[in-house]
Structure 1
Amino acid sequence: MATTEDTAKAIQQAEPVTAQQQRADEAQAQQQAPEAHSVPMTMIQALRSGLDVMMGRDDNVVVYGQDVGYFGGVFRVTEGLQAKYGKTRCFDAPISEGGIVGSAIGMAAYGLRPVVEIQFADYFYPATDQIVSEAARLRHRSNGDFTAPMTIRMPCGGGIYGGQTHSQSPEAFFTHVCGLRTVMPSNPYDAKGLLISSIECDDPVIFLEPKRLYNGPFDGHHDRPVVPWSRHELGMVPEDYYRVPLDSAVVFRPGKQVTVLAYGTMVWVAECAARESGIDAEVIDLRSIWPLDLETIVNSVKKTGRCVVVHEATRTSGFGAELVALVQEHCFWHLEAPIERVTGWDTPYPHAQEWAYFPGPARVGEALKRAVEG
């Protein structure tokens, strides 16, 4: 007869749940009504729905930034919110990133929950002092007397031939700043749930939105048509309130031969590489870059014995270096091959060579083969 200890061991040795199963478990844990209605949404629509839900639930939620009000944002994420909630809840701001973030810190300390948009992640640098020296430290320097419940949305990454000033992936910068949370969704379902959790968080959250995923899942090849989100299960999004935890990764694609750690657009590139290479790779979608779900990562790498890290940002001092170090520290005796990294180049962002700069299925596939054969 099986004992409690035997049952626990069996659970630990069981195959990881799929992404769809884990998301279902999350929804159940949050007591989402089973009759909650889901509809197909793009990531843009899912983000807009998340803002709409939270603005309707909490009068303290305000949304603003460059062209965010009447125009609805350069990518139309905030379209219609000003008409619905008025100019005091959704409004435009001057072209001053320092002013946008600085004013949001004051609002947050006062009791509001501002959601501000930096039009492109490349534009955050003028607000660096406000983000690092003020927002990230407010809770700690005040011994908890004040908090900064604010969300900073930033479209990030390439895919629009935007060159050096519209295509950067600066996530590693934010993970180095104590007091910040940094997330990057890979699909509409997670985007809405993570945004709601970010708005409800009492700490400042950097919310990075991959532009290449706004209108459809990316199959890894720039010369292939993008599949509509409406054809993918992750494009089915509940219209009402739900949350996705800010510190939880998900097994996007179960596998046994090698673990791939990725986030944002690179989740889809990794999945495409695994499919086309024929390698049974387990793709982990980090979702929350920091805080990191180390448990999910370690469990996967200990099972496969191999690891490949993929991100779009430049290689040197990219967040992949931190992931490699953590895997080395926690999984050294389980590793069967060196850890691989597939990243962008260590160069200024190349406008004309954008698709060569990106890690694609071919480069990721080669790394998977090296890891498996090593």
Structure 2
Amino acid sequence: MSSGPEVVVWDTTYACPLRCSHCYSESGRRASRQLGHEDMLKVADALISLNPRVVALSGGEPLVVKGIFEVAGRLSRAGVKTAVYTSGWIMEPWMATELARVFDEVVVSLDGATAQVHDRIRGRRGSFDRALSALTLLDGVAKERRRQKRTPLWFGIDCVVVRSNFPQLEEFCTAIAPRFPELRTLTFNAAVPEGLASRPEFGHFELLDDAQVTRLTSEPQRTRLQELAPPGVRVYTTDNQNLVMRPDRFASGVDSLVMQIEPDGAVRALPVYEGTVGNILEESPLDLWYRGVSRLSDPFVVETLSAVRTLQDWAEAVRRMDYHFGSEEVRSRIERRSVRTNPPEFSALAL
């Protein structure tokens, strides 16, 4: 059995100024469940005891969390690498400076190479301009740190790839990346059918089909995108199939399990899927980790996840897993999703 997680994803809050059509956590549409500052520091200490390679602070929007920089600093001083994922909506100059000081990597989510596409996916007009503004601030801080010969600020762009933005991948490389000379990474991640992205209507309108996923992750495509990007930018593409967590692949060492922490400290048994095994503020983090790993041996999990071969299979598996292991609150949210058919945001985005 694995001795502990290499990567921890901590969704620090479900508060968010955006309303993304694919939101994995339904952030901005539910209670934030955000901990107070002292409890967040306790969670940080619990994670340090696990000695992970990296802790990624996500959300919702982590920059709305008061004291987030102190929390990250606590992890960093203990030798844990830290990353943060932000939409950039509330980025201010002082935040860019603080991000450079305490985080090893800062990632800005950008889901369109144009405002028309990005703002539709992100559900709020002006979100494209705000993201570019955040990237401009980070670029300026990175340039100044390089001039002063200080520890570099490593920042990148992350794009969740759906049908709406699939035709724009090259434009990211030729029109967006060159605007930020200090940019280091450009990552294209196939959308995961988690949360709102697991809805059947999302699968119909926006989830990539299997041919598109194959094309996204093919070596010729990655090479093409790398050639188009500025020389200093590394381009990555991924199908996120490791997050399916098929028990056979995990048992053989092909995939490694990520620990996912919900905002109130609850620990998910498996990332992506609903269903928790306890709270990190109340129990041993290592015990919770082992409890989560053991979920992969549950007969229902083995049957459901072993059958996944396509993205549509995966979306169906997520819906089954979430309803089976989710709380009453989770089941209620799933049922509310199911009554929404052909929502306007999908119809507007369909190509």
Q: TM-score, normalised by structure 1?
A: 0.30
Larger Rg: 1
Q: Which protein has greater RCO, CA pairs closer than 8 Å, 6+ apart? A: 2
